[in-house]
Structure 1
Amino acid sequence: MNPIPLPIAELKSALQGIGKVINSRSPLPILHHIKVERTTDGWIALTGTDLDCFVTMRLEHPAQGPPCAVLVPYDQLQQLTKNCGKDERLLIDITDQGPVIKFALANNLGETKVQLLPVDDFPQTPRLKSDPITLSPVLRKSLHEAMDCASSDPTRHVINGTFIDASNAKANYIVGTDGKHLYSANSFTLPVKNSIIIPNHKFLGWREFNSDGEWQMKADDIALQIASRRWRFISRQIQGNYPNWRAVIPPTEGDKTHITFEPTKLEALIKLIPRIPCHNPDKDQTIGLEWKQGQFVLLGKDHDNDSWTKVPIADVKGEGPDITIFLSRRFLIKALSYGLNTVSLSDYIAPLRFHTQGRQMIVMPLRPEGNDTSQPAPPPPINRLPPAQSVRPQPQPTPKPMIQNPTSDGPASNGPKSTLEECIDLSLAIRNKFNEGFNMLRDLGLKLKLANREQKTAAREMQSIRATLRSVQGLKL
């Protein structure tokens, strides 16, 4: 049988990408292996998995030989790759005694044996039958920006991903939030019937995957696939109801002050912000925005009791009443780095809305700390028009907080949770426990399969030993 050739130049990249899903601490030995296979057309593919995600990389050129597959330890393949030159290659030869990896050694070929594991024990890669959807560069950019705004809190699993809201077939939205800030982008129309929550994974942000041609997406009710020219990423979707993200979007008719930064000056402004004094670098990293008498300044201070240092910013256009508002400089830098060069404000305790061309980021404000601040006193309460559906006048509403629970279809409350909300939270916690239990049962099933196979192998070896002993006993001296 012709060996499977693996060029080192391509293998290094393959191991780097597949290594993002290999779990070195997994108790299952099968998950420490890479599946190397040659198709009937001669294409060579390498696949790694952690049971939840599958990453496959196809080599550039096909190789002659019959279709075959073999499991190779990831660490062994990685070590051999480090010891070889970029112009060399490895050869995986499948012999009767098991797989053998051959490599260049002086003017000869050295070889190392590979522990034989049945290929059938490797988790089966899901196959999605839906039609591929091409993701435009603009959509890909929005996906990455939404992923950057998603939560990493394991207790809030449903917002640990990027939400493709398909509730409106004519205008889909890309959404990401961690409860403190929210990103959304529209003007997309994708041929999907149901909304999708894409789990955030470091592979999706890997530079080489993003530079490997256009992305195509497939999705069904359970899994999701994003493929490039040579790479393929398959993962389970995050199951659950995404929060009612529209509830925290401030109405545009309430915006009074609009501040617009010159797009060509954003990079310089981003570099300036970290230099502004910060009195709480380990906490909120507070920074102030002040629009007063037609001039825009940034506010910062070194200590709590210091006066605010004012840094005037040129090339800024604004309109509306004077206002001073505070927020985390992390979110300010992020919004500007996304190119969101307009910020709209209604009052100093309402969320800030950074936006441009269908993309927006909603950021919760911070209260200024210390004795000396430029924050004006709260204005007297005013009557506001009620929603169109209501016929009774309503008192001034409190500002809408960012999403706190992924179970409510309405805006979250600043007060104590109701009994119903506590029950919903408990049901989500129980669901997560069930998911953990199902994952443990799946791992147990794989372990039992391995143990059963090892037991059968041991039984065959014992039968061979007994047959040998019987033949020895039959010898006449």
Structure 2
Amino acid sequence: MKIICEREPLAAAFQLAASVAPARSPKEILQNVKLTVADDKATFTATDMEVGIRLELAEGLTIESEGAALLPVARTNAILRESTDDRLTIETDDAGVRVLGSRSKFRLPGANPDEFPRVVGFEEEAYHEIPVRLFRQMVKRTVFATDAETGRYALGGVLLELEGESVVAVGTDGRRLARMQGSGTAVGDHKTSGTSTIVPTRAIQLMERAVVDSDETVQLAARANDLLLRTERCTIYSRLVEGRYPNWRQVFPQRENASQIDMTVGPLFAALRQAAIVTDHDSRGIDFTFAEGTLTMEANTAEIGESQVQLPIAYEGESITLTMDHRFVADFCKVLDNESGFILEIESGASPALLSTEDGYGYVIMPMARER
């Protein structure tokens, strides 16, 4: 095998594939990326046996001979990162793999690429096709709310519900819940079943990173135990999280007497950051007091200090004080543009707050109990 390739697209493709490979594993072969050269393209595959990726590279590539090689992740990443050459040559011989630049030579050990586990391709006839912009929003607006640190495994991923034109993504850690919905196209009568299509947080983040601006759509195929994503240049496979997701629809408040307040992300986020200056890890609650025409945010932390920040709002009604974790409100602001408008719905200090946008995004924050 021998290829000559522009370094930047080579490095980008390798680094994305390498992000799947485990840093440590009893199977040392998994700490490599397999490079296969055939049919006028180079294909990078990597897996940790839970998540797998097949990534094709054709741009900036000259193929002199076909074949396959295993590239050790750490050393190859370092070579591609530190090299100053515009083009690099990768070739194999009986002694291993050589990476050549105009003024540099590297030899890496070469394991047998035939022993590398197979990473499945996308051969499904039933799948959902989703616009790239919507898919990215679905991931970015929900993945931060998942819970990857506790033993509640079903919350350690994003729930996908795909049926007909309806596509929904949900993330929750039990204290807040994010839901993004939109429209896609079902091919071959594809649909998910119940609340079991839970994609691990790490895997769905990889899927979002693998999508590029030139992709118009992504294809998602849910099976009994795994999910496949395909774009024009890559396929990603992920096992699903075991367990069943909670009934997230019951979390969304259904109430008749709530107050709905039109707000803009930028001013709220700026005021929130000021109020949060005197909070710490153990004291994260901020009192949000909604009164006639004004939102007042107050924090009080022993040995750190107090803050009070006011923001004009379009609110008329009785004063309501709701204590919320400032990080949860900030997370909502971070995934939207500063100019974005949203509706903040509140009912009482003991009821959850609902933040929603016109494009299908809903976010529920449970109130905190806090002693002054």
Work out whether 1:181 is the aligned partner of 2:181.
Answer: no
The structure in which a higher percent of residues are strand is 2
Cα distance in 2 for residues equivalent to 1:365 and 1:313: 20
Contact 1:215/1:226 (CA < 8 Å) preserved in 2? no
Q: Are the aligned partners of 1:256 and 1:320 in contact in 2 as well (CA < 8 Å)?
A: no
Q: How much does 1:257 deviate?
A: 1.8
Give unmatched runs, 5+ long, in structure 2: none
Question: Which residue type is aligned with residue 252 of structure 1?
Answer: R
SS of aligned partner of 1:313: strand
- Residue identity matched to 1:318: Y
Q: What residue is the counterpart of 1:164 in the other structure?
A: 160
1:364-420 alpha-carbon deviations (Å, 9 max, x no partner) = 1112321xxxxxxxxxxxxxxxxxxxxxxxxxxxxxxxxxxxxxxxxxxxxxxxxxx
1:77 is paired with a residue whose SS is: helix
Aligned to 2:37: 38
Q: Counterpart of 1:276?
A: 275
SS in 1 for 2:141: helix
Q: 1:123 maps to which residue?
A: 117
AA aligned to 2:323 is F
CA distance in 1, matches of 2:122, 2:345: 43
Q: Which letter does structure 2 place at the counterpart of 1:77?
A: T
Alpha carbons 1:224, 1:237 under 8 Å: kept: yes
Partner of 1:193: 191
Taking the aligned partners of 1:30 and 1:310, their CA distance within structure 2 comes to 57
Offset at residue 177 of structure 1 (A): 0.3
SS in 2 for 1:24: coil
SS in 2 for 1:353: strand
Match of 1:153 in 2: 149
CA RMSD between the two structures: 2.8
- Tell me if structure 1 keeps the 8 A contact 2:169–2:179: yes
In structure 1, runs of 5+ residues without a counterpart are 371-477
Aligned-pair distance for 1:244?
A: 1.0
Deviation at 1:340, TM superposition (A): 6.3
Checking the alignment, whether the CA contact within 8 Å between 1:259 and 1:319 is kept in structure 2 is no
* Compared CA separation, residues 69 and 244, structure 1 to 2 (3 A): same
Contact kept, 8 Å, 1:340 with 1:356, in 2: the verdict is yes
- Alpha-carbon shift at residue 182 of structure 1 (Å): 0.4
- Where does residue 314 of structure 2 map in the other structure? 317
Shift of 1:295: 2.0
Q: Deviations over 1:158-205 (max 9, x none)?
A: 111111124x65644221101110011334355232242222114245
Indicate how the Cα distance of structure 1 residues 152 and 190 shifts in structure 2: closer, same or farther if over 3 A, else same.
farther
User: Could you say which residue in structure 1 is the equivalent of 2:345?
Assistant: 344
Indicate the SS of the match to 2:331: helix
CA contact (8 A) 1:212 1:230 kept: no
Counterpart code for 1:366: M
**Conserved? CA contact 1:42–1:66, under 8 Å:** no
Alignment of 1:90-105 (within 5 A): 90-93=89-92, 95=93, 97-104=94-101
Q: Deviations over 1:234-283 (max 9, x none)?
A: 21122321111112221132x4222221x3xx223312212115654112
What secondary structure does 1:130 align onto?
Answer: coil
1:155 Cα shift? 1.0
In the alignment, the residues of structure 2 paired with residue 242 and residue 204 of structure 1 have an alpha-carbon distance, to the nearest angstrom, of: 21
The match for 1:54 among 52, 55, 75 is: 52
1:320 Cα deviation after fit: 4.1
Cα 1:296–1:104 shift into 2, 3 Å: same
Question: In structure 1, how many angstroms separate the alpha carbons of the residues matched to 2:318 and 2:140?
Answer: 35
| Secondary structure in structure 2 of the residue aligned to 1:79 | helix
2:112 is aligned with what amino acid?
Answer: P
Q: CA deviation at 1:211?
A: 4.0
Number of the residue aligned with 1:366: 368
**1:140 corresponds to:** 136
User: AA paired with 2:21?
Assistant: I
| Pairwise CA distance, 1:361 | 0.7
Larger RCO (CA within 8 A; separation ≥ 6):
2
Q: Secondary structure at the match of 2:314?
A: strand
> What letter is aligned with 1:333?
A
Please report how far the alpha carbon of residue 349 of structure 1 lies from its aligned counterpart in structure 2 after TM superposition.
0.4
Residue type at the aligned position of 2:120: P
Q: CA deviation at 1:90?
A: 2.1
- Alpha-carbon contact 2:2-2:91 (below 8 Å) kept: yes
Structure 1 CA distance for aligned equivalents of residues 14 and 66 of structure 2 = 22
Contact 1:212 1:228 in 2 (8 A): no
Q: Quick check: 1:232 aligned with 2:226?
A: no
Question: Is the CA contact 2:142–2:171 (under 8 Å) kept in the aligned structure 1?
Answer: yes
Q: Percent of aligned positions with the same letter in both sequences?
A: 19
Give the 3 Å change call, closer, same or farther, for CA 63–30 of structure 1 in structure 2. same
* C-alpha distance in 2 between matches for 1:306 and 1:369: 16
TM-score by length of 2: 0.84
Distance 1:223 1:301 in 2: 45
Partner of 1:460: none
Residue in structure 2 matched with residue 7 of structure 1 by the alignment: 6
What is the alpha-carbon distance in structure 1 between the residues aligned to residue 353 and residue 281 of structure 2?
Answer: 22
> How far, CA to CA, are the matches of 1:154 and 1:367 in structure 2?
22
In 2 relative to 1, CA 116–180 (structure 1 residues): closer, same or farther, beyond 3 Å? same
CA contact (8 A) 1:278 1:302 kept: no
Distance change in 2, residues 1:303/1:9 (3 Å): closer
Superposed, 1:15-34 pairs within 5 Å as: 15-34=14-33
Per the TM alignment, residue 341 of structure 1 is displaced from its structure 2 partner at its CA by 2.2
- SS of the aligned residue for 1:30 comes to helix
The answer for the alignment partner of 1:213 in structure 2 is 215
Report deviation, 1:210.
Answer: 4.7
Residue 57 of structure 2 contacts residue 233 of structure 2 at CA under 8 Å; is this kept in 1? yes
How far the C-alpha of 1:9 sits from its partner, in A, is 1.8
Asked if structure 2 preserves the Cα contact closer than 8 Å seen for 1:256 and 1:345, the reply is: yes
